[in-house]
Amino acid sequence: MINTSFLRISFCALWLLTVGAGIAVMLNYQNTCGSVGTTPEHWPSKTQIALDHNRDTLLMFAHPQCPCTQASMEEFNRLMAQCRGRVTAYVLFLKPSQFSNDWTRTDLWRSAAAIPDVTVQDDIDGALARKFGAETSGYILLYDPRGQILFKGGITDSRGHAGDNAGESVVVSLVNGQNTSLKQTPVYGCSLLSKTCPQPGTVK
Amino acid sequence: MNSSASKVFAAADTVSRRTAELFKEQQQNIIRHTDRLFFWLMICQWFFAIGLTLWLSPRTWAGVNSQIHPHVWLAIVLGGLITSVPVLLALTHPGKTLTRHAIAIGQMLMSALLIHLTGGRIETHFHVFGSLAILAFYRDWRVLISASVVVYVDHLLRGVFWPQSVYGVLYASIWRSLEHAGWVMFEVTFLIISIRTSLNEMHLVAERQAKLEALNESIERTVAERTMELTQENMERRQTEDKLLKNQAQLAQAQQIAHLGSWEWDLVKNKVTWSEETQRLYGRTPEENGVPMENCLERIHPDDLPQVNKIMAESLRTHQPFTCVHRAILPDRTERVLQGRGEILVNDKGEAIKMYGIVQDITEAKRAEEALHRSEEQLRQSQKMEAVGRLAGGVAHDFNNLLTVIEGYCAMALLKKEEVLPILKNIEEIQKASERGASLTSQLLAFSRKQVLQPRVLQLNEVVHGMDKMLRRLIGEDITLSTIFEPSLGRVKTDPNQIEQVIMNLAINARDAMPRGGKLTITTSNVTVDQKSHFRNRTLEVGEYVMLAISDNGMGMTDEVKSHLFEPFFTTKDLGKGTGLGLATCYGIICQSNGDIRVYSELNFGTTFRIYLPRTDATSESITTLDSEDLPTGTESILVVEDDPAVQELAVIILRDCGYQVEKSNNAFEALELMKTNPEFDLVVTDVIMPQMSGKDLYEKIKKQTPHIEVLLMSGYTNDALAHHGVLDEGLHFLEKPFSPAKLARKVREVIDAAGTPRAFSPNGANGKSR
């Protein structure tokens, strides 16, 4: 009888441990950031979009099919709410040329389009993404009117989870003319170009 | 009192224990039910999680390439892992504590998974609160604690290691985990309160249930006891019914044996019901049971019906019991004599509502009674005859001796007519008176069957034929005598003189019944009786008979006369015209001859007497009668033994006158002495009734000592000394007193001649000559 109970409890303990391990895997995945390419420190020339020389220019690269980017889009919306009128914002959706526009016109597109003062446009074959070194969906770039980069990285603290995060705070501060030490945050989302992202806290 | 109190306490303790049992049982049922609920819920949640990931994040992308999103695998694997153990326990160990705690933990883990899969949406957090509410279904606060602990630990660990994943900040105090847990505890607190309330209600319900059960048990026990009592009562009732049926069967059997049935007449409905025996006695069918009384009365003999109606009506009027003997005619026309008894049942108002009673078959009893009556009558008749016979026998001996002397001397005197011419008439009258006296004595002996019969085989046709002249003379000219003889008429063995006497008596009666003339018919025929028949206490046995019928067409007889017809001294004739012995004599003679006599008479139409005598196959014996008036003579030596001197003297004179050598003796001893000295006697004529030694004993001694000597016995009454049942013993010669000189002379001559060898004692040697 005792053995049976012991076995039963042991079994349950083992179960809990296994579940715990699973959760650990889950959390690990959640907190594993995407890759970041080489982002130009200065606004590149010959881009399809123009740098706003009067105010900061905010770019967001997104994969239209990425489910994790929904959280980034929510945070981008909140960010725009705080920075409206002080930045020129673009959301650039990867659009492979072989796909029709339907491929990009997802809920994510419509969410982005619904954010006021945000320009949403296709990034054909990820040309701009490559030019700006964006490799993970949800990647944010902030340039000042002179074309000097102010910030790069993600605005979620983990994959697919909205909420307060360092990236968003940094962008708001920068737009408001405040200086921050943090210039780069990890980005969580699907790969735009299938490259790994750098560890958070480091700025290339 | 103590017993009652202990019973109350015991009942309360039982209710308490039962309450606990029911409460636990109910709780266990709820837990098991909730286990099942979570079994399905967790499975559904698992599939939901999979579906959710397939909907929200089906694939992960790398440029234009995509693959299944890790969340999908996470939902499948981790969700399956979380779900597996609770579901397995719910399936295999429902109701166990470990199961529900595993479920609680698993459910909270599933909440965490879902929250994660939905990107930490605040809406998904309601799954936690919803799950807690559902876990409250267990009504076990400990389960909620387990779930809360999981929530708290999750937040604690996340707060330590990934604070931004739960608090949205890069750093949070460890106490902040209490904020989230606090909201959970807020809900859990009220859920626990709710659980306690619910448990209290459950307890109350269990208590009520226990009380109800106790009440039910009490009722059931009462019902069981009552049922047992009813079963017992039923069994007793069944036994009573069995006994009743047995009694009824015994009653029916008793009724059948006693030929006694019962009946009941419902006067209100006019409905008569009866027992099986009553039904049998009246020849009814079971279907007729319950018919009106009018139908029942149809079975009553019409002659008895008025009397029955009268008795029943009287009983109905007076309400008194009644007895009624009546005859019933059955459907097969047989007749039964039944005796009914009845009583009346009245209601409170004194009105007759029912008549009930019994009916008994007394047919056999009636027959027995009639037989007894016949026997008594026979006995009475026998006693009467015996008395008369004793009287007749008592006087017959001496009376006949006297008559013998009178008649003898008269006859002898008449032989000398010249000498007694002046008084001839007187002597003839004396002789007639003597003959009537002899006849009277003879009849007395005849009807009392004391006379000695000397039967012979004869043919009645010859007897009647021989009486033809005498009968015609007897009945007179106004009456025609007709005879119808059976040519092949059988023979009978009877005393011819007696049968002549019978025919003569019946002829005289017929004559007297036809004072204005008529027809007398004498018929003979052979008759075969194939069935016993009774008449006047006599039974005519089955056999072959010769029937002699004497019929007249005279005035006939009433039944009353018929019933006394053969009684001695009963006569319908005027005083002095009949002795009342004629038919009694006939009856006595016929009965003594083993025959029977029947009378058939119809008033104003005539009477027929039928005499039945047993037929015999023996040959007829000729009746030798000597018509000559001359006395036969002889010379043989005769010894007369007679104790009556007068008779002795008369006999000696007659025989000497006939030429015989006569010696005399006063008694048997003297006679024997004489025979010793003179053994040459041819014949001894001896009286039968003598003192010291009877004539029969003398006969025996003579036959022993000197067998060649013939013996002639004479007597007026033998008292069965010579006869059995009145019939003379074989080989004896007998002369009935009174006798005339002629009768004596003829008888003596007949006996000597019958001996065959006359002994020449007479000097002239004459034998058998008449004088």
The domain spanning residue B289 has which CATH number? Answer: 3.30.450.20
Our CA-based measurement puts residue B199 at a distance from the nearest CA of chain A, in whole angstroms, of: 28
- Domain contains A128: yes
DSSP letters spanning A110-150: HHHHHSTTEEEEEEETTHHHHHHT--BTTEEEEE-TTSBEE
How many folded domains does chain A comprise?
1
∠ CA B526-B529-B533 to the nearest 5 degrees?
135
Please calculate the CA angle B650-B651-B655 and round it to the nearest 5 degrees: 120
Residue B709 and residue B603 share a domain? no
Q: Do B654 and B756 reside in the same domain of the chain?
A: yes
Return the pLDDT at B603: 85
In a shared domain, residues B636 and B574: no
CATH number of the domain enclosing B583: 3.30.565.10
Mean pLDDT across B744-749 = 88
Q: Quick check: is B367 in a domain?
A: no
Q: What does the radius of gyration of chain B's CA atoms come to, in whole angstroms?
A: 67
Q: Does B151 touch chain A (CB under 8 A)?
A: no
Task: Report how far residue B682's alpha carbon sits from residue B637's, in angstroms, rounded to the nearest whole number.
Answer: 5
Q: SS3 of B490, please? A: coil
Mutate to test the interface with B, among A7, A10, A65 (most CBs of B within 10 A): A65
Q: B768 CB near a chain A CB, below 8 Å? A: no
Contacts of residue A106 in chain B, CB cutoff 8 Å?
none
- Is position A146 within any domain? yes
For residue B74, is pLDDT > 50?
A: yes
- Other C-beta atoms closer than 10 Å to the C-beta of B192 total 18
Nearest-CA distance B104 → chain A (Å): 12
Question: Which of helix, strand or coil describes residue B724?
Answer: strand
Q: For residues B650 and B759, state if they share a domain.
A: yes
The token pair at B350 is 């004194």
Q: Kindly state whether residue A176 falls inside one of the protein's structural domains.
A: yes
Q: Is B639 an 8 Å CB contact of chain A? A: no
Number of structural domains in chain B: 4
Structure confidence at residue B623 as a pLDDT band (50, 70, 90): low
CA of B100 vs chain A CAs: smallest distance (Å)? 12
Both B612 and B636 in one domain: the answer is: no
More confident residue, B380 or A140: A140
Could you give the CA distance from residue A204 to residue A40 in angstroms, rounded to a whole number? 10
CA-to-CA dists, residue B81 to B37, B77, B110, B528, B745, angstroms: 19, 6, 10, 129, 166
3-state secondary structure of B237: helix
Does B481 share its domain with B604?
yes
Please indicate, yes or no, whether residues B92 and B200 belong to a single structural domain of this protein. Answer: yes
Q: Which residues pair with B662 in a beta bridge?
A: B638
C-alpha dist (Å) from residue B291 to B69, B271, B285, B343, B601:
106, 5, 11, 19, 45
Q: Which is more confident, B548 or B531?
A: B548
Is residue B603 within 8 A of residue B461, CB to CB? The reply is: no
Q: How far apart are the first and last CA of chain B?
A: 140
Q: Which residues from chain B sit within 8 angstroms of residue A16, using beta carbons?
A: 105
CA distance A53 to chain B (A): 31
DSSP string, B70-129: HHHHIIIIIHHHHHHHHHHHHHHSTT-HHHHHHHHHHHHHHHHHHHHHTTS-GGGGHHHH
Residue A88 maps to which CATH number?
A: 3.40.30.10
What is the tens place of the pLDDT at every residue in B581-613?
778 888 888 887 888 888 888 888 899 999 999
Instruction: Tell me if A1 is assigned to some domain.
Output: no
pLDDT, chain B, mean: 84
Q: Is residue A178 part of a domain?
A: yes
Minimal CA–CA distance to B651: which of B594, B717, B715? B715
Do residues B85 and B211 share a domain?
Answer: yes
Are B487 and B600 found together in one domain?
yes
The pLDDT value recorded for residue A137 is 93
Indicate whether A7 belongs to any domain: no
The token pair that represents B432 in the structure block: 């007639």
Residue B517 lies in a domain: yes
**pLDDT truncated to tens, each residue of chain A (204 aa)?**
557 778 888 888 899 899 989 888 888 888 888 888 889 999 998 888 999 999 999 999 999 999 889 999 999 999 999 988 899 999 999 998 888 888 989 999 999 999 999 999 999 988 999 999 999 999 999 999 999 999 999 998 888 888 778 899 899 999 988 888 888 999 999 998 754 333 333 332
Residue of chain A with shortest Cα separation from B166 = A163
pLDDT in tens, B206-245: 888 888 888 888 888 888 888 899 999 999 999 999 999 9
Q: Using an 8 Å Cβ cutoff, are B504 and B589 in contact?
A: no
**H-run or E-run covering B327:** strand B322-329
User: pLDDT per residue over B294-339, tens digit each?
Assistant: 888 888 999 999 999 999 999 999 999 999 999 999 988 888 899 9
Distance CA B661, CA B637 (A): 4
pLDDT given at position B768 = 41
Q: Choose the closest CB to A162 out of B60, B82, B119.
A: B119
Q: What are the beta bridge partners of residue B354?
A: B266, B345
ipTM of the complex: 0.87
Quick one: angle between helices B97-117 and B141-161, nearest 10? 40
Does residue B382 lie in a domain region?
no
Nearest by CB to residue A67, choosing from B69, B109, B169, is B69
Judge if B143 and B34 occupy the same domain.
yes
pLDDT band at B107; cut points 50, 70, 90: very high
pLDDT at B48: 93
Taking every pair of Cα atoms in chain A, the longest distance, rounded to a whole number of angstroms, is 79
Residue A45 lies in a domain: no
Q: How confident is the model at residue B119 (pLDDT cuts 50, 70, 90)?
A: confident
**Chain B neighbors of A94, CB-CB under 8 A:** 63
Does B428 map to a domain? no
Any idea what the CATH number is for the domain that residue B716 is in? 3.40.50.2300
Domain housing B158: 11-215
**Same domain? B586 vs B554:** yes
Residue A89 has which token pair?
């914002």
Same domain (yes/no): B204, B290? no
Sole residue written with tokens 């709710």: B194
Residue A11 lies in a domain: no
DSSP string for B515-576: TT-EEEEEEEEEEEE-S-EEETTEEE-SEEEEEEEEEE-S----HHHHHTTTSTT---SPTT
Domain hosting residue A146, numbered range: 56-185
Contact residues for B508 (Cβ-Cβ < 8 A; gap 6+)? B474, B475, B582
Give dist(CA B656, CA B654) in Å, integer: 6
Q: Give pTM, 2 decimals.
A: 0.47
